[in-house]
Amino acid sequence: MAGRGYTIFDTAIGRCGIAWGEMGVVGVQLPEAREIETRRRLFQLYPDARDIRPSEEIEVAIEGIAAILRGGNSDLSGVTLDMTDIPAFNQRVYQFVRTIPRGETLIYDEVARALGASGAVHSVAQAISRNPFMIIVPCHRVLEAGHYADPISPHGGGISKRRLLSIDGAQTITNKTLFDVLLPVAPPRPHP
């Protein structure tokens, strides 16, 4: 397999894309509103990739992603990811997030503490927001404090974290109230 390849494939939520190279999967794109937009996004991200038939290993990844998006359970831990251009901290985040079981969620702070970097909550959030390996690295299982489903990575296409968590069978808080938004930034009131 010389160079990079990509393909578009059917899932229960629409036509997804996957791109790979000699060292493994380089990215997964969830569906945009139309297939042409999904293809355009893949081309923007991987302009050197050609639309070719996937290898057996990539077919296994595609089948696993499709199974998960149907609400099934599939073990994607054996899918090789090419993290050559991924910063070292993000690689650690992605490796850890791959261990979060279906139907469970963690908050950014819990991931940071698990990595021994309790002060790196913002860095964890940044890594999650840049996740190129949608579903294989289930970033939708990592939420804001309070277990709110915040926006998904650009690789998420038109799909929300809430929808992916619903497919996973996880519970989230879906809407913030004004109180939820203002409380973390409000100064404490002095007690008389």
Distance, first Cα to last Cα, the chain: 72
Catalytic residue numbers, as ranges: 139
Query: Residues near 87 by Cβ (< 8 Å), separated by ≥ 6?
Result: 127
How far is the C-alpha of 62 from the C-alpha of 11, rounded, in Å? 9
How far is the C-alpha of 7 from the C-alpha of 18, rounded, in Å? 6
CB of 16 closer than 8 Å to CB of 65: yes
